[in-house]
Amino acid sequence: MSVAEQLKSDAAGDWHATATQAFIYALTDGSFDWERISGFPQQDFPFIERFVRLLASAVPRARTLAEAALGTQFPGLICGSENTNFRRSPETLDLPQVGEAPSETQAFESLTEEVRQSCRCEITLSLLVLAERIHLEWAIPFNDRAPDLPLWPGAWITLHSGEKIAGAVVNSHGRLVAVWGRVDYAVYAEVAAAVTGAVVSERAFSDAALCGLSVAR
């Protein structure tokens, strides 16, 4: 079993709940109350900011130029002109971009910032691989519905289910395997704690989104 599979297995219950979250089903089948969902893009915006910083922090630790170049592609995809929906979605809903962060958002932001500042390549790559992969797993089943959905959920699903994110997962996993070939497995508990914490936070956030996040106006 690969290290990524082992980390996924360690968080199996929360992983499955997140990858099959009721929030996404409600979002894509038209049963969600759009007033209740308005808080989601506000909270997704600061999450993306933290995640891009975490992605960028892995680039200086790449072993080769080719690896570093691959490491820049996914942040470029998220921040590129074709994916401005993170900025445009609150505008479409006539809302400010960022609202007050609930505890679920704060927990994930704190975790990603702690990992980024740790400068620990094995923890950073493990978290990136699992975060990219869990988003890919929940988005792929709904990819064919994306063109018929409103702006932000449609673009959000397309971003998380396309070939580029799949390529990013493969690239990050390859780097993770290489890193784990050079480190002592005694650090596994630290890595597993970070990854499990991220999956738990992701599940808590999706559960809160289903109930309706607060909306800043």
> pLDDT by residue (tens digit) across 115-130?
888 877 778 878 878 8
d(CA 203, CA 197): 10
Mean pLDDT of all residues in 1-23? 84
CATH C-level class of 3-211? mainly alpha
d(CA 19, CA 15): 6
Compute, in degrees rounded to 10, the torsion defined by CA atoms 164, 167, 168, 172. 180
d(CA 200, CA 177): 24
Helix intervals (H) in 30-64: 34-37, 39-58
Mean pLDDT of all residues in 119-143? 82
Mean pLDDT of all residues in 15-41? 77
- Token readout for 201 is 């936070």
Higher pLDDT: 85 or 25? It is 25
Residue 7 has pLDDT above 80, yes or no: yes
Q: What is the pLDDT of residues 76-124, one digit of tens each?
A: 766 765 556 666 666 666 666 565 677 777 888 888 888 888 877 778 8
Mean pLDDT of all residues in 10-23? 87
Q: What is the pLDDT of residues 147-169, one digit of tens each?
A: 888 767 787 788 777 777 777 77
pLDDT at 87: 63
Please, which pLDDT band fits residue 140 given cuts at 50, 70 and 90?
A: confident
pTM flag (> 0.85) = no
pLDDT at 139: 85
Residue 202 has pLDDT above 70, yes or no: yes
Mean of all residue pLDDT scores within the chain:
77
Q: What percentage of the chain reaches a pLDDT higher than 70?
A: 75
